[in-house]
Structure 1
Amino acid sequence: MNLAPTRWPAEDLWLEIAPRLPGFTVEVLPEIDSTNTELMRRARAGQTEPIVLVAESQTAGRGRQGRAWLNQPGDCLMYSLGLVLNPVDWSGLSLVVGLSIAESLQAGAPTSQARIGVKWPNDLWLHDGRKLGGTLIETANLPASTHAAGIGAGQGMARFVIIGTGINVRPPQGATDALSTPTACLQDIDAQWSAPRALQHLLPRLVDDVMQFADHGFAPFQARFAAHDVLRGQRVHLSDGSSGEALGVLPDGTLQLRTQAGVRSVLSGDVSVRPIHMALPAAPL
């Protein structure tokens, strides 16, 4: 059976985003090893213009901690957003990305359906504890010949940032980064969801939120994150064997955990956090 080619809203996205992000392009490929890997290759070759690279299929997609994220065409939205940033503070970027996507997808879902939340630091979860998607953020030094100041109010050295996200659209057919957690997909929420529709819903807000983060850091997002924080108030345990109650995050995005030894700060990347019991906050969006 021949499937009709996927129609992506590339021109619409370009028209909406390019005025705010000069030089921005949208590129869609039928297949590639990894959108993150491809943008990293391009950055090292001096191509650092802002771009979103979408792949209908990935042969070597990667999640956090090197886990695989595989798919069949149409099963998953997979893209990488690349741009030069020089933020006031790098702390909390992954939280902002997860929050922005969760808010956009929730806004595009029927109001009667389950809420979409963020599991620190950036995974997308449904109310019942199933994983919807995740993000991998990587950075590259700018080539010596590049003099881009970068977006943001930082005083340090600008870097090329690659924000790669995979979101299940249909029930996944193969192994994914989410194997250790029950999986969910957008069509569990609304059968009309497709990868192009999801991209059109989330990308403009994501660009705006990343630009705001670059100027102001995570603090302006702290209250918004709290409304979508699936770990807050839950008993969780860490990869080092300790456990405690998640208390939310600080203005820099650091997770606070109440343990028997007192309150502990958990930095993104130094532990893996998963809940012992999962329930989203009851407050309405």
Structure 2
Amino acid sequence: MPVTVSRAERPSLDETVLSALSPDLVPGVSVEVVDRAESTNAVVAERARAGAPEGLVVVTEHQTAGRGRLDRSWETPARSALTFSVLLRPTAPTRSWPWLPLLAGYAVDKALKAAGFDAGVKWPNDVLIGDRKVAGILVERIETEQGPCAVVGIGINVGLTAEELPVPTATSLAIEAGEAGAPDRTALLVGVLASLRESYDTWQAGGDLAGMRLAASYADACVTVGREVRVELPGGSVLTGLATSIDPSGHLVVEGPDGRVAVGAGDVVHVRAAI
């Protein structure tokens, strides 16, 4: 039974720490904290079109109209979540860009594990603790005069109480930590950004070996692999079978009645454990 946390004092992010991040820790990053925003992805997309460089990070204390896959929306209480977006201008071929949401999910998972949580990635990019969602990612491609870029939006439930969770299948770090309490959001943000930078740089390096290593690392962290799944596809069709692996392109490989089928993140509506 999860421990119920209170709405006790929720400290603000430490802007002094975030504005002075060491390049050795998180290279090429500039963090801006805003008190309130409808969507950090929308803010960063606007900055990208205006010519902002790679590495811009906008984090808000209170997001009022966050967006997820399939245009799902939500709002979290002020200072209860870690909600931010990162501007990336990849030089990797656009055919490999479908890896971006997966590597972002993997980076969050890695940072949460380093913070002591037993997290796992649900393909393609949700992060779970147990079977409950604690974080989600939305990656959007934006066209700019400098060329296409990617806005990586990340939302992590940090201090939400059980009553504040958006759906019964969600959780928060505070709930999972129990009496130990939620981790410091500033330290967690630094950890996630460092992890994301490491994964992004590996992906940018390219090559078959890098792709194979990324796919293997992601598969090791992915709780979907090895489970019977039900994949809901556009148009109402359904694919059921055993999720056996992640291929070098980031597709989920499902062994079903008609053999192996590889599905991409952009081709699915839902992926659920088969009952």
TM category, shorter: 0.7 to 0.9
The answer on 1:8 being equivalent to 2:14 is yes
- Which residue of 233, 249, 252 corresponds with 1:252? 249
2:112 to 105, 110, 116: 105
- 5+ long unaligned stretches in structure 1: 147-157, 278-285
Structure 1 residues 57-206: aligned runs within 5 Å: 57-88=62-93, 89-109=96-116, 115-127=118-130, 129-143=131-145, 146=146, 158-171=147-160, 174=164, 176=166, 179=167, 182-190=169-177, 191-206=181-196
Report the alpha carbon displacement of residue 13 of structure 1 after superposing the two structures with TM.
6.5
Q: Which residue type is aligned with residue 119 of structure 1? A: K
Q: In the alignment, is the contact (CA less than 8 A) between 1:236 and 1:273 conserved in 2?
A: yes
TM-score, normalization by structure 1: 0.81
- SS class of match (1:251): coil
Displacement of 1:45: 2.3
Match of 1:234 in 2: 227
Which runs of structure 1 show a deviation greater than 6 angstroms over 4 or more consecutive aligned residues? none
Question: How far does the alpha carbon of each residue in 1:4-31 deviate from its partner, in whole angstroms, 9 at most, with x for none?
Answer: 7514255457432488644x31100010
Q: C-alpha distance in 2, partners of 1:169/1:19?
A: 23
* 2:243 counterpart letter in structure 1: A
**Paired residue total:** 255
Partner Cα distance (2:176, 2:8) in 1: 27
Q: Is the 8 A contact 2:18 2:186 kept in 1?
A: no
Deviations 1:88-118 (CA, angstroms, capped at 9, x unpaired): 4223221111111101110111xxx6x2000
Partner of 2:3: none
2:52 maps to 1:47: yes
Alignment RMSD: 2.4
Q: Do structure 1's residue 274 and structure 2's residue 258 form an aligned pair?
A: no
Say if 2:36 and 2:60, in contact at 8 Å, map to a contact too: yes
The percent identity for this pair of structures is: 29
1:261 aligns with one of 252, 258, 263: 258
Please state how far the C-alpha of 1:224 moved relative to its aligned partner. Answer: 1.3
Q: Alpha carbons of 1:5 and 1:131: their partners in 2 closer, same or farther (altered >3 Å)?
A: closer
Cα gap change, 1:244/1:45 in structure 2, threshold over 3 Å: closer, same or farther?
same
Distance 1:108 1:20, change over 3 A: closer
- Shift in CA distance, 122/47, structure 1 to aligned 2, threshold 3 Å: same
Unaligned 5+ runs, structure 2: 1-6
- Give, in whole Å, the separation in 2 of the partners of 1:202 and 1:8: 15
Partner of 1:154: none
Structure-2 separation of matches of 1:33 and 1:10: 24
